[in-house]
């Protein structure tokens, strides 16, 4: 656990860094490949829409315990009435109820299928319920979801542009959102997971989570770039890359903690409960939050840097940062050669000054350095409890002879 904490502290202070921005083309290539495969899923497979969207008849058979060959029994019963080419979507609910979904049947055919299912599962006819679901309800839900999506995107873009005072930040976050939705829906096309109204709700919820994760990273980008523009020591790309490193551990922890209960619901849903609203919602959340965490780290910030790379203020900042780094490189050999061979003499110089003080000719290039504790790469002081190996804020224990006295 301490290694993970030390690793996170090193990423936060800049002692250790992963070049997310510099390797942006690699992330773009991988994302492009995944998005193309996801888009092909719409052409090759298509979405497996639930009965609420397509319309049809649904039958539920209440049994003591669903037999192992329940799917074959239900399919044979449907084909016995509706014909050999008829298809049936058979699943279990809670281990004892068999759900059979078919295309739209007439009232007479629905009664015959009910009797055939009762015979196939050896139950009374009143144990079989049937109802018809029209496609109009699913169509209404789809229209409302699309309307909510458009309003969400417009308002979010406007709010982010005003908050960050930069339209390109809002554009980068919206592209990351589109990336998340395309991949999430593409996974549904290839896996054949059923898309129900609960799944649509899950998709909309994923948008909020993905945006939240991106905003957390962008807030650190805003802080780091503001410091970089003030001290002119670091380029915009380096400051943004530091922000991603500083939030990497937090993104991993948030995603894992958020997905643990969702994964538990998915396992229980597949093993015990069977298909239903809870399983559909959890499955969409699990896939979407995982993809959203990926985009907030590997897509959103590198894309922001590329969008702002040619901005005049960013170009000037990069030039000033290069000059600062060049001065630091020229000054390093001077500091190294100014250390005498006998360290004991340097420790007790008459003037009380350190032997590593740069020459007077280099003082005009030297910049004041705050040596009061460790700092991040941008020059901000690190809190003592965030330092590796720092003190721990433990509660003080009352001595035994003073306990119980007021």
Residue 194's pLDDT is what?
Answer: 80
Average pLDDT over residues 355-381: 48
- Report the pLDDT averaged over residues 155-180: 90
Q: Which of 3-17, 51-65, 278-292 has the lowest mean pLDDT?
A: 3-17
Segment 136-164 shows an average pLDDT of 82
**Residue scoring higher pLDDT (328 or 399):** 328
* CA separation, residue 303 to residues 174, 194, 207, 306, 307 (Å): 11, 33, 18, 5, 6
How far is C-alpha 54 from the chain's CA centre? Answer: 31
**C-alpha to C-alpha distance for 295 and 302, rounded to whole angstroms:** 10
The reported pLDDT for the residue numbered 299 is 92
- Give me the pLDDT at residue 323, please: 84
Considering only residues 346 and 226, tell me which one the structure prediction assigns the higher pLDDT.
226
Domains belonging to the chain, first-starting first, are 2-48+137-313 (1.20.1640.10), 58-133 (3.30.70.100)
Which of the four pLDDT bands, split at 50, 70 and 90, describes residue 40?
very high
Mean per-residue pLDDT for 147-165?
87
Q: Is the pLDDT of residue 191 over 60?
A: yes
The model's confidence at residue 172, banded by pLDDT at 50, 70 and 90, is very high
127, two tokens: 């144990």
User: Over 60: is that where the pLDDT of 201 sits?
Assistant: yes
- Alpha-carbon span 26 to 41, nearest angstrom: 23
Percentage with pLDDT > 70 across the chain: 74
Asked whether the predicted pLDDT for residue 222 surpasses 80, the reply is: yes
Per-residue confidence (pLDDT) for residue 36, from 0 to 100: 93
Contact of 200 with 142, CB cutoff 8 Å? yes
Residue 372 — pLDDT band, cuts 50, 70, 90? low
In angstroms, the CA 225 to CA 237 distance is 9
Could you give the C-alpha distances from 250 to 18, 179, 224, 369, 389, in angstroms and in order?
15, 21, 17, 29, 20
* Res. 35 pLDDT band, cuts 50 70 90: very high
pTM of the full structure: 0.69
Write out pLDDT tens, residues 71-116: 888 888 888 877 766 777 787 776 678 888 888 777 888 888 888 8
β partners of residue 331? none
Most confident of 48-57, 243-252, 265-274, 346-355: 243-252
Q: Is the pLDDT of residue 317 over 80?
A: yes
User: CB under 8 Å to 219, separation ≥6 — which residues?
Assistant: none
| Whole-number pLDDT of residue 126 | 83
Give me 312's structure tokens: 């005049």
């Amino acid at each position: 656990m301490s290694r993970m904490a030390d690793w996170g502290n090193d990423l936060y202070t800049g002692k250790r860094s992963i070049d997310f921005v510099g390797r942006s083309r690699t992330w773009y290539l991988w994302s492009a490949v995944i998005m193309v495969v996801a888009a092909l899923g719409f052409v090759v497979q298509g979405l497996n829409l639930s009965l609420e969207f397509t319309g049809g008849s649904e039958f539920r058979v209440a049994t003591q315990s669903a037999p192992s060959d329940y799917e074959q029994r239900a399919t044979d019963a449907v084909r016995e009435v509706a014909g050999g080419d008829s298809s049936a979507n058979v699943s279990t609910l809670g281990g004892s109820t068999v759900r059979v979904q078919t295309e739209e049947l007439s009232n007479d055919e629905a009664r015959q299928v009910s009797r055939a299912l009762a015979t196939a599962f050896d139950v009374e006819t009143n144990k079989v319920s049937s109802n018809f679901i029209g496609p109009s309800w699913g169509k209404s839900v789809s229209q409302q979801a699309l309307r909510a999506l458009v309003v969400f995107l417009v308002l979010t873009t406007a709010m982010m542009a005003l908050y960050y005072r930069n339209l390109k930040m809002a554009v980068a976050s919206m592209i990351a959102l589109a990336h998340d939705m395309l991949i999430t829906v593409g996974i549904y096309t290839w896996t054949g997971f059923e898309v129900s109204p609960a799944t649509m709700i899950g998709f909309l919820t994923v948008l909020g989570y993905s945006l939240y994760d991106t905003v957390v990273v962008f807030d650190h980008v805003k802080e780091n770039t503001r410091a970089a523009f003030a001290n002119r020591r670091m380029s915009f790309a380096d400051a943004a890359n530091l922000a991603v490193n500083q939030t990497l551990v937090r993104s991993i922890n948030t995603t894992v903690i958020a997905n643990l209960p969702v994964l538990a619901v998915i396992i229980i849903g597949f093993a015990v409960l069977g298909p239903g609203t809870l399983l559909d919602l959890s499955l969409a959340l699990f896939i979407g939050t995982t993809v959203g965490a990926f985009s907030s780290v590997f897509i959103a910030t590198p894309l922001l840097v590329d969008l702002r790379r040619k901005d005049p203020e960013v170009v000037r900042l990069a030039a000033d940062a290069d000059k600062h780094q060049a001065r630091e490189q020229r000054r390093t050999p001077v500091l190294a050669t100014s250390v005498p061979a006998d360290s004991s003499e340097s420790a007790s110089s008459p003037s009380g000054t350190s032997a590593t003080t740069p020459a007077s000719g280099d003082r005009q290039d030297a910049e004041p350095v705050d040596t009061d504790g460790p700092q991040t790469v941008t020059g901000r002081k690190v809190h003592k409890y965030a330092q590796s190996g720092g003190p721990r804020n433990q509660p003080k224990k009352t001595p035994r002879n003073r306990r119980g006295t007021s």
